[in-house]
């Protein structure tokens, strides 16, 4: 039985505690929680069994000898240092998204993971969705041909001002390290690169507090270029309604569109590049077939699925659906987009991690933004 300790008992931590306590992860048990907040301990006392030990610090829990692995569900800045501390103690680690705020700290976490020999995962729960796995499989099979263009529009991450007011750390450079790119869109940045690959450079335009009384970005439009000459656009915001969520991938064999729970593939009868080179008719277009791709149903609790997979990797050696070390890719993209906006210039991928870190520290030092929590707890059910 894998004994799990949760670090951070906020909205996400309580969600993990709930399904673990209910015995919904075979081969695992919730053994302990660690949180500095008395409110968290009161919640644990009320909602968790007496055998779940409660610690005021993560170090005390990790040194207790009573756990085999940790789930890190703290604010973003703490993900890498806590994961590193666990891995160096010989504990397995599963971190919430994003992997971290800046590439430098995530790279250090990855190095610790590789040296540890422990199982290191990340909570990219949207990788478990059948529709995302179907699109990835279609791309990897070569069915759509070489990618020519990608377009990802995710404007359904709407958040009201009260969401940002719920925590003093939220939407600040010092407390969160960014806005939509480090809080909501890490899911989409991961899916984008997981399915389409990483670009080589980015030119981004960000609105900082465009829709909300915050100092970080709540609106992003980014243009990217890939090594093969393809290009792409990534658009996200928390201030637009009604929003949309669609990914289009245009390849040499047609156009694939994912929206809602549907996947449609307009497949050309022959490669587009071949047709445009050889067609004797100037206004001719390739014959195209519209294909509605079937998508099976999936697991309702995606977070539980990732945790089950992580536990199976520990106890049975099964492959991870979301390797922790892969979390750096989304952070690279987020850092590059912010760096591009800050400097009003192109940003390379991989990101200039020292330059980004320097500018982030300058943002923190120069901040005069004052925000107090309204003290209202948020219900995170169904928001992921």
Residue 58 is assigned to a structural domain of this protein = yes
Which residue from 193, 184, 381, 237 is spatially nearest to 302, judged by alpha carbons?
Answer: 381
Residue 163 shares a structural domain with residue 240: yes
Domain shared by 142 and 223, yes or no: yes
Mention every residue, 6+ apart, whose C-beta is less than 8 A from residue 38. Answer: none
Could you tell me if residue 50 is inside a domain? yes
Residue-number span of the structural domain to which 287 is assigned = 131-297+330-366
Q: Tell me which residue of 194, 214, 218 sits closest to 206, measured CA to CA.
A: 218
291 in the same domain as 305: no
Single out the residue of 302, 318, 312, 373 nearest to residue 132, CA to CA: 302
Q: How many CB atoms lie within 10 A of CB 93?
A: 28
Kind plus residue range of the DSSP H or E element containing 109: helix 103-116
Q: Is residue 219 part of a domain?
A: yes
Is 375 domain-assigned?
no
**Judgement on whether residues 357 and 317 belong to the same structural domain of the protein:** no
How long a stretch of residues is the chain? Answer: 384
Both 164 and 150 in a single domain?
A: yes
Angstrom distance (rounded) from CA 126 to CA 113: 23
- Spatial separation of the C-alpha atoms in residues 211 and 101, rounded to whole Å: 22
Same domain, 49 and 64: yes
Radius of gyration of the chain (CA): 22
- The predicted structure's pLDDT at residue 300: 72
Would residue 48 count as lying in a domain?
A: yes
What's 324's DSSP letter? G
CA nearest neighbour of 51 among 71, 68, 29, 31: 31
Calculate helix-pair angle for 327-343, 103-116, nearest 10 degrees: 160
Instruction: For residue 351, tell me if it sits in a domain.
Output: yes
Residues 277, 321 within the same domain: no
Give buried/exposed letters for 102-118 (b at 16+ CB in 10 A, else e).
bbbbbbebbebbeebeb
Residue 240, token pair as written in the block: 């637009």
Question: Does residue 383 belong to any structural domain of this protein?
Answer: no
Alpha-carbon span 333 to 256, nearest angstrom: 23
Task: Note whether 185 and 97 are within 8 A (CB).
Answer: no
Does one domain contain both 162 and 66? Answer: no
CB 129 within 8 A of CB 293: no
Q: What is the pLDDT along the chain (384 residues), one digit of tens a residue?
A: 999 999 999 999 999 999 999 999 999 999 999 999 999 999 999 999 999 999 999 999 999 999 999 999 999 999 999 999 999 999 999 999 999 999 999 999 999 999 999 999 999 999 999 999 999 999 999 999 999 999 999 999 999 999 999 878 889 999 999 999 999 999 999 999 999 999 999 999 999 999 999 999 999 999 999 999 999 999 999 999 999 999 999 999 999 999 999 999 999 999 999 999 999 999 999 999 999 999 987 767 899 999 999 999 999 999 999 999 999 999 999 999 999 999 999 999 999 999 999 999 999 999 887 655 544 444 444 444
Name residue, tokens 């719920």: 166
**3-state DSSP of 36-58:** CCHHHHHHHHHHCCCCCEEECCH
CATH at 195 = 3.30.360.10
| Domains: count for the chain | 2
Where b means 16+ CB within 10 Å and e means fewer, 216-226 reads: bbbbbbbbbbb
* φ and ψ at residue 169, rounded to 5 degrees: -85, -20
Q: What is the DSSP code (8-state) at residue 377?
A: P
Q: Tell me how far apart the alpha carbons of residues 260 and 244 are, in angstroms, rounded to a whole number.
A: 9
In this structure, what token pair is assigned to residue 264?
């449609």
Give residue 380's pLDDT.
Answer: 40
Confirm whether 233 is domain-assigned. Answer: yes
Calpha distance 196→34 (Å, rounded): 38
pLDDT at residue 376, as a whole number: 46
Q: Residues 221, 89: one domain?
A: no
CA proximity to 322, closest of 54, 94, 160: 94
Do 190 and 126 form a contact (C-beta atoms < 8 A)?
Answer: yes
Q: At 256, list the tokens.
A: 């694939």
CA-to-CA distance for 120 and 112, rounded, in angstroms?
10
Give the domain CATH number at 70.
3.40.50.720
DSSP assignment letter at 236:
E
């Amino acid at each position: 039985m894998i004994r799990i300790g949760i670090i951070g008992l906020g909205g996400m931590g309580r969600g993990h505690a709930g399904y673990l306590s209910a015995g919904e992860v075979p081969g695992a048990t919730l053994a302990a929680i660690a949180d500095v907040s008395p409110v968290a301990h009161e919640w644990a006392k009320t909602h968790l069994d007496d055998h779940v030990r409660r610690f005021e610090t993560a170090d005390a829990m990790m040194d207790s000898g009573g756990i085999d692995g940790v789930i890190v569900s703290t604010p973003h800045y703490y993900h890498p240092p806590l994961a590193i501390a666990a891995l160096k103690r010989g504990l397995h680690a599963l971190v919430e998204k994003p992997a971290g705020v800046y590439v430098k700290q995530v790279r250090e976490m990855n190095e610790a993971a590789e040296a540890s020999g422990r199982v290191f995962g990340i909570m990219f729960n949207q990788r478990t969705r059948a529709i995302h796995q179907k699109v990835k499989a279609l791309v990897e099979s070569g069915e759509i041909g070489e990618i020519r263009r990608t377009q990802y529009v995710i404007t359904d991450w709407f958040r009201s001002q009260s969401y940002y007011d719920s925590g003093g750390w939220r939407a600040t450079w010092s407390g969160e390290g960014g806005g939509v790119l480090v809080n909501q869109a890490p899911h989409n940045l991961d899916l984008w690169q997981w399915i389409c690959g990483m670009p080589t450079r980015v030119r981004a335009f960000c609105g900082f507090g465009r829709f909300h009384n915050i100092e970080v970005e709540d609106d992003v439009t980014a243009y990217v270029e890939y090594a093969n000459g393809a290009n792409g656009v990534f658009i996200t915001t928390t201030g637009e309604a009604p929003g949309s969520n669609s990914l289009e991938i245009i390849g040499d064999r047609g156009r694939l569109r994912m929206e809602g729970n549907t996947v449609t593939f307009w497949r050309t009868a022959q490669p587009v590049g071949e047709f445009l080179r050889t067609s004797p008719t100037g206004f001719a277009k390739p014959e195209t077939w519209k294909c509605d791709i079937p998508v099976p149903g999936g697991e309702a609790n995606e977070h539980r699925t990732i945790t089950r997979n992580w536990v199976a990797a520990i106890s049975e050696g099964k492959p991870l659906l979301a390797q922790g070390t892969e979390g750096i890719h989304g952070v690279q993209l987020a850092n590059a987009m912010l760096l591009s906006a800050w400097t009003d210039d192109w940003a390379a991928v991989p990101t200039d991690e020292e330059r980004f870190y320097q500018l982030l520290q300058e943002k923190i030092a120069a901040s005069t933004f004052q925000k107090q929590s309204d003290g209202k707890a948020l219900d995170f059910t169904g928001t992921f």
